[in-house]
Amino acid sequence: MELKEKLVSSFMAFENMVDIDSPIHDIRTEAIKNFETEGFPSKRQEAWKYTSLNSVLKHDYSVFPKHEKALEYSDVKRYFIHEIDTYKIVFIDGKYSSHLSQTTHDGIDVCLMSAALSKPKYRLIIENYFNKIAPKDGLSSLNTAFSAEGAYIHIPKNKLVTKPIQIVHFSTGNEAALMVQPRNLVVVDENSHVQIIERHQSLTDNPVLTNSVTEIFANKRAIVDYYKIQNDRESASLIDNTFINQKQESIAKVHTFSFGGKLTRNNLNFYQNGERLDSTMKGITIIGNKQHVDHNTLVHHIEPNCESHQDYKGIFNDSATGVFNGKVIVEKDAQKTNAFQANNNILISDKASINTKPQLEIFADDVKCSHGCTIGQLDESAMFYLRSRGIPEKEARALLMFAFSNNVLGSVKIPEIKSRITKIIASKLGVNIGFDL
């Protein structure tokens, strides 16, 4: 049976597990209808021109894992940013693990989507925010239809959340093939500040497909700092859909570090619904073998005096393929917009390829918009300089590549993440040197 049919027919089984009387369920039923008509995206669609899901969709995924498996913290510690104290929301095969998690209701809500959807005290937030910015395309609709579990984070007014929040999804390989659809909601009210780290990790070589939707609302003057660490096994694929709605003077930053996975698609959308706000999206992609990473970003400048900054670096080895599709739309009223977009790539192997499409659609005249994109190699003279000072070729190459991707790390606010990413980069480049000299 095709995955699409399987999913549509398993919706009935899903209905037995959730409260079908809640208003959320109307949203779900509408979404499944939407998915039935839209289906999975194909290469014929402009936004999916360079990414084919065929190889990912062919597995017979189990949609509701039957077994539960407990994990010991010591076994998975290394997948956490364990050097610092954090709140943790941990899921194992799509199911919440209270054992590994550390949630809170003390002034802020860092808890579960399932709880938020069912308990009356969250009703107002859910009504106001749930599924308000996720679009009606096939994949988002599919996630909406099966939305039951995920992270729920609500930071009320004037709170500075001192500890970062980690959202970690493990898949244990209990099922031959597993599909999970986490649904996250992050609402940050006026003047509040939060840092979130998200990671998906598969622990075996059984195929996993994650279709995740995250809705983030940054209200007036809120600061949201979001880090996505993607360093999964090559059996795991991730379709990450993140939608961010910003109100005036808010700052939202998303850093995406893509080092792993078989196929990774990041749909990252910023909607600027307020004046004088700032959106930043940055990413480092270092992949090899037959890995595929696709960054599809959108910044919708709707109101005046806003800024957006995009900076994506990619290094592609072996037969890896990379895609960058960045779109900036500046509406007629969004005067005085500053929008920058940069995408730089290095191909290391003859079989690697990169497709990039930085798009600008501008309807306002008093704006500063620019995009730049390059594909090139390491500077031979810089290589020579390093080699002539006794640095071996491999290390010299790694140093240059690290320097190439370093601007992105510059804006990372959590030092532990920075050093973790640095280590991953070193191992990806096959060298054993610390870059923080």
Binding residues for another protein (CB under 8 A): 46, 50, 332, 335, 345, 347-377
- Establish how many alpha carbons lie within 13 A of residue 2's alpha carbon, considering only the half-sphere containing its beta carbon: 7
Between 44 and 78, CB nearer to another protein: 44
Distance CA 107, CA 407 (A): 35
Distance CA 297, CA 252 (A): 14
Between 140 and 291, CB nearer to another protein: 291
Between 58 and 351, CB nearer to another protein: 351
Distance CA 199, CA 261 (A): 12
Between 305 and 353, CB nearer to another protein: 353
- What torsion do the CA atoms of 91, 93, 98, 100 make, to the nearest 10 degrees? -70
Name the nearest CA neighbour of 323 among 333, 312, 334, 332.
Answer: 312
Between 64 and 340, CB nearer to another protein: 340
Question: Would you say 206 and 196 are in contact if contact means Cβ atoms under 8 Å apart?
Answer: no
Q: Is the dihedral of CA 326, 272, 230, 36 positive or negative?
A: negative
Tokens 């980690």, residue? 166
Name the nearest CA neighbour of 115 among 106, 102, 126.
Answer: 126
Query: Measured from the CB of residue 371, what is the shortest distance to another protein in angstroms?
Result: 5
Query: Measured from the CB of residue 273, what is the shortest distance to another protein in angstroms?
Result: 20
Query: Measured from the CB of residue 373, what is the shortest distance to another protein in angstroms?
Result: 4
Query: Measured from the CB of residue 117, what is the shortest distance to another protein in angstroms?
Result: 40
DSSP-assigned beta bridge partners for residue 299: 270, 328
Return all residues near 383 (Cβ < 8 A) that are at least 6 apart.
Answer: 393, 396, 397, 400
Distance CA 11, CA 81 (A): 36
Question: Would you say 117 and 148 are in contact if contact means Cβ atoms under 8 Å apart?
Answer: yes
Distance CA 421, CA 160 (A): 25
Between 46 and 106, CB nearer to another protein: 46
Query: Measured from the CB of residue 327, what is the shortest distance to another protein in angstroms?
Result: 9
Question: Would you say 218 and 252 are in contact if contact means Cβ atoms under 8 Å apart?
Answer: yes
Between 235 and 353, CB nearer to another protein: 353
Between 165 and 315, CB nearer to another protein: 315
Encoding tokens for residue 374? 């390059």
Q: Which helix (H) or strand (E) holds 279?
A: strand 278-287
Between 100 and 429, CB nearer to another protein: 429
Query: Measured from the CB of residue 411, what is the shortest distance to another protein in angstroms?
Result: 22
Q: What is the secondary structure of 296-337 as a DSSP string? A: EEEEEE-SSS-EEEEEEEEEE-TT-EEEEEEEEEE-TT-TT-
Between 58 and 368, CB nearer to another protein: 368
> What does DSSP assign to residue 145?
H
Query: Measured from the CB of residue 362, what is the shortest distance to another protein in angstroms?
Result: 5
User: 315-324 burial, b if ≥16 CB within 10 A, otherwise e?
Assistant: bbbebbbbbb
Between 21 and 350, CB nearer to another protein: 350
Query: Measured from the CB of residue 372, what is the shortest distance to another protein in angstroms?
Result: 4
Between 359 and 432, CB nearer to another protein: 359
Q: What phi, psi does 240 have (nearest 5°)?
A: -110, 120
Query: Measured from the CB of residue 269, what is the shortest distance to another protein in angstroms?
Result: 18
Query: Measured from the CB of residue 238, what is the shortest distance to another protein in angstroms?
Result: 23
165 alpha-carbon distance from chain centroid? 15
Query: Measured from the CB of residue 343, what is the shortest distance to another protein in angstroms?
Result: 9
Angle between helices 138-145 and 23-38 (to 10 degrees): 140
Query: Measured from the CB of residue 318, what is the shortest distance to another protein in angstroms?
Result: 11
